Chain A
Amino acid sequence: MRPENQSRRSFIKGIIASGAVASTGGLMFISGCSDNSSIPASGSVERLISLNINGTVRRVDVLPNETLAMTLRNKLGLTGTKIACDRGECGACCVLLDGVSFNSCSMLSHSLTDKNITTIEGIASPAGELHPVQTAMIEELAPQCGFCTSGQVISAVALLDQNPNPTRDEARQAMAGNLCRCGAYDHYLNAVLRAAGEIA
């Protein structure tokens, strides 16, 4: 789940350059951190970058080791993107990069200046008209606790963009990176297929 121009190696190199690894303790208690300070960080990367988010160019001060999920939540006030595992296991933080669903917890904001980023806040129209996926999820009562829902919506929108008429099993495979502890999988799949019907 990385942009095609960013290998795992370059992601790790970015982290190392930031010094984050050097300060990590022996135990894994200390993980991905929000950072909204003016305290200077090591590294020589330009901190003020432009990100194209939901059709608007946002100028934002970003540390070299900062993930997109942290930038969205802590710098840009876009808290609809949820962090549930912060290591690419659960899909709660999914956003669209040029229309493809990615885990925003596992990408460095610095590497995304040439991408069109769509978060959950950008899925409905600016006037508030819901995307067919969102409407279908309401009709199927798909969300329960709602914490994974942003990611489920994003992955469903990405799927239907690529494959407007998926089979149930294709939808199941495409959504498999989005965990839901409430176990609402059946209802989310019903919603994806219902939305596909609406779009088609």
Chain B
Amino acid sequence: MADNNRPYNLVGKNFTPPDIRAKVTGRATYSEDYRADGMAYIKMLLSPMPHALVTNIDASAALAMEGVYGVMTADDVPSFPNPGEQILSNEPNFVGEPILAVAAVDETTASNALELITVEYEELPFVLDPMESLFPGGPDAYNGGNLVSALRAEEQDEVENIGVISHKWTARDFAAVADGQLPMGEPTMDWQFGDIDSAFEDAALVLDETFVTGCNSHHSMEPRSAFSYWENGKCFVHGSTQSQMFIVPALAGLVGVPPDQLVYISEFCGGGFGSKGGAYAVMAVPAHFSRLIGRPCMLRVTRAEEYYLGSARAGFQGRAKLGFNAEGKMTAADVYIVQQSGSKNPFSDYGSAGGMVALVYTPTNMRFRAIPIGTNTTPCGPQRGPGQNQMSAAMEPLMDKAAIALGIDPLEIRRINAPDHDALTGGERRQKVSSSYMLDALDMGAERFDWASKIARNGERNGSKVIGIGIGQGYHGAGISGFDGLLRIMPDGKVHIHSGVGNLGTYSYASTARVAAEVLGASWENCVVEHGDTRKHLPWTIGQFGSLTTFTMSRANYAAAMDAKQKLQEIAAMDLGGAPEDYDLANETVFRISDPELNISFAQAAQRAIELGGKFSGAQAPDDIFFLTQASVGGIAGTGLVGVARDNIPLNEHVAAMTASFAMVEVDVETGNYEILEYVSTADCGTIVHPLGLEGQVRGGAVMGIGMARSERQIYDPQNGLPGSVNLYQAKPPSYLDVPSIMDVAAVDKPDPNIPMGMKGVGEPPVGAAVGSIISAISNALGGHYFNRNPVTPDMIVNAVSGNEQSNSPLQIFTQ
């Protein structure tokens, strides 16, 4: 992707991010890389059962061991409302939930001490499949229910009633559907627009399909290790999180201190993909233990532990009834999603699933129903495109099915239904999108892929190998507003841009800081990005998730830079005469437009700001910024010219990013294996901010989507509820050899109107586009066989080709 031709010095250009050298030299410090004198090492005892009550703990022998500093149980830490994540729990509801922890001189001693601890449990019924839990009399995964009560309409107004309830469908609901079809009892979410009944009556084609999308782990390379100590009443936490400032209030709550008593350091994060977007309970274990024993504490989470207690994408059991007119327009969609939500608070994948169908396929009439049901499995949280990307896996092959039935080209049916700038979101309140260039992305991708010649090869057979061609589409929200930006110009002339967003590895913390430099006309070499540590006086910003950083932080940094620009102009007018608007910025100076010789350097202006005080030096801060930003402004006040502002730029539309992908696969019908021969992906992400960073996101998202399509899923032993995918070789994220070694990526590069320079985030849609395109390509290679499930594994392909029954029933989840 070449640097673009916009009139920007920095935006749209490649650069060397300030933290990348540390990554290639091994000097980047992640949470487990910190050491302190006298530190203790923690090992946790994890629940061996999917649902139980701890009735007795005997740790006396462990406590008597040499080198053991202490044992911490659930009684020593705060507990949180059911079904929230607990730091330690006496009522575990998934295999791997931490029961207690031991701190010792080293990990070996701590592990040996765990062996001497006796825990007695009372086993409770457990459930893996929402259908079983919804069946009358079925077991509940939470203690006291299977559904968060606030989600059920009649409970929503009763604040006291927050908690869980047992929600069952009727036997009649189950009996009302044919074998293998999703029953559709009382949901918790139910919205519609238009009139689907008459639309189905008028439709030229109606599809009615039941499908399952897989639950898969996040597999972050860095497990969620944490290190913590206390100093002068303050708690220091080194954690692995995608976000920096966004973590602080929630983590302070987990640790039990006010936010200003927490020092949070997360300069690097070894992967999160949604699983480390917010604070999570286990990262508070070393903080509490450190307070208990008065030593710095390290919790090194192992790979297996990460699989047990980390996070996973929620699985869906769904049904989609789709109506099309003869021209291929989707006139009706009736979609029902049952979300397998895992053992703790459900994430809103199910809601996003409905939004995805409404926006990507723009049905003229739609009804959407959904319900999230707890399961005694790994807690499920957001994973890169939560909800939207499961729907890409389920819906894209159905678009092909409709295309074949109606005799329409698969590209054309997507073009006919693609959202334009007037497209509306789903939900109770429909909102217009800020911009949508899905059509452009489809056309650009089709051209790069050479669609016409490729689709002509679909079904081409060479020995046991068959060519398949597929298209996938992905969408995600791409930005919100209302966060703070903060920067300061120092008396040495350097511009320090304070970023509280986090460092997930997308480099967007830096590329959005460049927006501030762009506004100020500063050279990048003269800028310093302050990030990764609350002691660096960081502003309150969104966390690094939801494809939000690029849009949200560009706006916040723009707002702070405009504030600094205004102050620079005022200082220049004060000292050189004229009005502020007579001045502009370039080359780290503020100069008079009519006479550029008349100027003040940034260094001089910073010195003047310190002398002037008030708003110029940060001694006075705007009232509308968040209290954590107020504190940070206070920390740097008087050191330079401070630019600080809340992003109050109007935003009344839904910011959306889109991606289209095209894949050519070669399926070996004898082995069920397949290779991806060609892959093209094109993104609608507004103005390109950082070409190489964007390429990395689109390709990286494709790798993750290929994993969803071909291999990644959690499995459980149905008899005992034990997880069976707790190592990489079992959980199967893609390696170099599972993905094409060259992926062609590009972007539409058309600006969004809701942000000064037009950029939008695009971290998530490439995943959905990838999984949709691969599964569609496999289906098309097999002449339109629909698996209605992801991942599509080789045995499924062999069964389909040989006409054998699949080894799993249509609604079965956690399948091999």
Interchain CB contact under 8 A, A180 and B221 = yes
Are B736 and A181 closer than 8 Å at their CB atoms? no
Report whether A134 and B24 are in contact in the complex, using a CB–CB cutoff of 8 Å. yes
> Which residues of chain A are within 8 angstroms of B21 by Cβ–Cβ distance?
130, 138
A6 to chain B, nearest CB (A): 22
Number of interface residues of B (CB under 8 A): 82
B29 and A183 within 8 A (CB): no
Cα A34 to Cα B699 with chains together (Å): 36
A127 part of interface (Cβ distance < 8 Å): no
Assess whether A71 is interfacial by the CB under 8 Å rule. no
Given A141-B696, A146-B23, the answer on whether A84 and B107 have CB atoms closer than 8 Å is no
Decide yes or no whether A39 CB sits under 8 A from chain B: yes
Q: Is B28 an interface residue (CB 8 A)?
A: yes
CB <8 Å contact, B24 and A121: no
| A140 contact set on B, CB distance < 8 A | 692
Known contacts A84-B223, A138-B16, A141-B696; is A176 also within 8 Å of B741 by CB?
Answer: no
With A25-B115, A33-B111, A187-B696 in contact, do A90 and B27 touch (Cβ < 8 Å)? no
Check B699 against A184 for contact (C-beta < 8 Å).
yes
Is there an interface contact between A185 and B270, defined as CB atoms closer than 8 Å? Answer: no
Interface string of A179-198 (1 = CB under 8 A from B): 11111111101000000000
Q: Are B268 and A146 in contact (CB under 8 A)?
A: yes
Nearest chain-B residue to A84 (Cβ)?
B221
Total A-B pairs, Cβ < 8 A: 217
Q: Are A179 and B221 in contact (CB under 8 A)?
A: yes
Complex partner residue of A143 from B24, B504, B727, CB under 8 angstroms: B24
A130–B16 CA distance with the chains assembled, in angstroms: 15
* Closest CB in chain A relative to B675 CB, distance in Å: 12
User: How many Å lie between the Cα of A83 and that of B107 in the bound state?
Assistant: 15
User: In the complex, how many angstroms separate the beta carbon of B192 from the nearest chain A beta carbon?
Assistant: 37
Indicate if A12 sits at the interface (CB-CB under 8 A).
Answer: no
Query: In the bound complex, what is the Cα–Cα distance between A158 and B490 (angstroms)?
Result: 45
Contact residues in A for B114 (Cβ distance below 8 Å): 25, 30
Which B residues are CB-close (under 8 A) to A34?
41, 106-108, 300
Considering the chains assembled together, what is the distance between the CA atoms of A175 and B738 in angstroms?
12
Total interface residues on A, using CB and 8 Å? 70
Assuming the contacts A37-B105, A85-B728, A183-B699, asked whether A189 and B741 have C-beta atoms less than 8 A apart, the reply is: yes
Say which residue of A37, A84, A89, A153 sits within 8 Å of B106 (CB atoms). Answer: A37
Tell whether A143 pairs with B107 under 8 Å between CB atoms, given A25-B115, A148-B221. no
Given contacts A92-B221, A145-B269, A169-B741, contact A175 B23 (CB under 8 A): no
Q: Does B388 contact A (CB under 8 A)?
A: no
> Looking at the complex, which one of A29, A173, A182 makes contact with B46 (CB distance below 8 Å)?
A29
Determine if B743 and A29 form an interchain contact, defined as CB atoms under 8 angstroms apart: no
Question: Which residues of A sit under 8 angstroms from B741, Cβ to Cβ?
Answer: 168-169, 172, 185-186, 189
Q: Which residues of A contact B22 (CB under 8 A)?
A: 146
Residues of B within 8 A of A28 (CB): 304, 726
In the assembled complex, B178 has its CB within 8 A of some CB on chain A? no
B141-149, B701-709, B786-794 - the one binding chain A = B701-709
User: Are A35 and B26 in touch, CB under 8 angstroms?
Assistant: no
A65 nearest CB across to chain B (Å): 8
Interchain CB contact (< 8 A) of B702 among A80, A87, A178, A183: A183
A126 at the B interface (CB under 8 A): no
- The reply on B492 being an interface residue by CB < 8 A is no
Contact B20 A143 (CB under 8 A): yes
- Contact yes or no, A150 B115, CB < 8 A: no
**Minimum Cβ distance to chain A for residue B689 (Å):** 13
- A145 to nearest B CB, angstroms? 3
> Would you call B219 an interface residue if the criterion is a C-beta within 8 Å of the partner chain's C-beta atoms?
yes
Per-residue contact bits, chain B 6-34, to A (CB 8 Å; 1 contact, 0 not): 00000000101101111111111110110
Q: Are B26 and A80 in contact (CB under 8 A)?
A: yes
Q: A33-B106, A86-B303, A186-B742 are in contact. Are A145 and B736 (CB under 8 A)?
A: no
Is B92 an interface residue when CB atoms closer than 8 A count as contact?
Answer: no
B693 on the A face (CB < 8 A): yes
| Chain B residues in 8 Å Cβ range of A20 | 108
A28 to B105, CA, bound (A): 21
Contact assessment for A179 and B699 in the assembled complex, using a CB-CB cutoff below 8 Å:
no
Say if the beta carbon of A124 comes within 8 Å of chain B: yes
Specify which of B96, B271, B734 lies most central, judged by the most chain A CB atoms within 10 Å of its CB.
B271
**Shortest distance between the CB of A26 and any CB in chain B (Å):** 8
Docked pose: A181 CA to B272 CA in angstroms: 9
With A30-B111, A84-B303 known as contacts, the answer to whether A146 contacts B28 (CB < 8 A) is: yes
A147, closest chain B residue (CB): B270
**Interface membership of B43, Cβ < 8 A:** yes
Beta-carbon contacts under 8 Å, B451-493 to A = none
Query: For residue B302, which residue of chain A has the nearest CB?
Result: A31
Most-contacted residue by chain A among B33, B105, B728 (CB, 10 A): B728
In the complex, chain A residues 14-51 whose Cβ is within 8 Å of any chain B Cβ: 20, 23, 25-37, 39, 41
Is A81 an interface residue, CB under 8 A from the partner?
Answer: yes
B709 CB to closest chain A CB (Å) equals 13
User: Do residues A120 and B25 form an inter-chain contact, with CB atoms below 8 A?
Assistant: yes
Which B residues are CB-close (under 8 A) to A111?
A: none
Instruction: Please give, as numbers and ranges, the residues of chain B lying within 8 Å of A175 by CB-CB distance.
Output: 736
Task: Contact check, A153 vs B24: say whether CB atoms are below 8 A apart.
Answer: yes
For the complex, what is the distance from the CA of A32 to the CA of B506, rounded to whole Å? Answer: 31
Given A37-B106, A137-B24, decide whether A143 and B505 contact each other with a Cβ distance below 8 A.
yes
**Is A67 an interface residue when CB atoms closer than 8 A count as contact?**
no
Q: Which of A36, A183, A189 has the most CB of B within 10 A?
A: A183
Q: Which residue of A lies closest to B733 (CB)?
A: A181
Contact residues, B692-738 vs A (CB, 8 A): 692-693, 695-696, 699-704, 726-729, 733-737
Query: Which residue of chain A lies nearest to B740 when distances are taken between CB atoms in the complex?
Result: A186
Q: How far is the CA of A62 from the CA of B112 in the complex (A)?
A: 18
Q: Which of A23, A86, A176 contacts B115 (CB 8 A)?
A: A23
Assembly CA distance A134 to B213 (angstroms): 39
**Nearest CB of chain A from residue B663's CB, rounded to whole Å:** 15
**B505 CB contact (under 8 Å) in A92, A119, A144, A150:** A144
Chain A residue with the shortest CB-CB distance to B744: A186
> Do A145 and B221 have beta carbons less than 8 Å apart?
yes
Q: A180: which B residues are within 8 A, CB to CB?
A: 221, 703
Contact of A33 among B20, B107, B736 (CB under 8 A): B107
Known pairs A186-B699, A187-B692. 10 more at Cβ < 8 A?
A29-B96, A35-B107, A85-B728, A119-B26, A130-B25, A141-B695, A145-B221, A145-B272, A146-B20, A187-B699
Which residues of A are in contact with B by a Cβ distance under 8 Å? Answer: 20, 23, 25-37, 39, 41, 63, 73, 77-87, 89-90, 92, 119-121, 123-124, 130, 134, 137-138, 140-141, 143-150, 153, 168-169, 172-173, 175-176, 178-187, 189
User: Can you list 26 contacts pairing A with B, beta carbon distance less than 8 Å?
Assistant: A20-B108, A29-B96, A33-B110, A34-B108, A37-B105, A79-B32, A79-B33, A84-B303, A120-B25, A120-B26, A134-B24, A140-B692, A145-B271, A145-B504, A146-B22, A146-B270, A148-B221, A149-B28, A172-B741, A176-B735, A179-B733, A180-B221, A183-B701, A185-B703, A186-B699, A189-B736
For the complex of A and B, 3 pairs with smallest distance between CB atoms = A80-B26, A183-B703, A147-B270
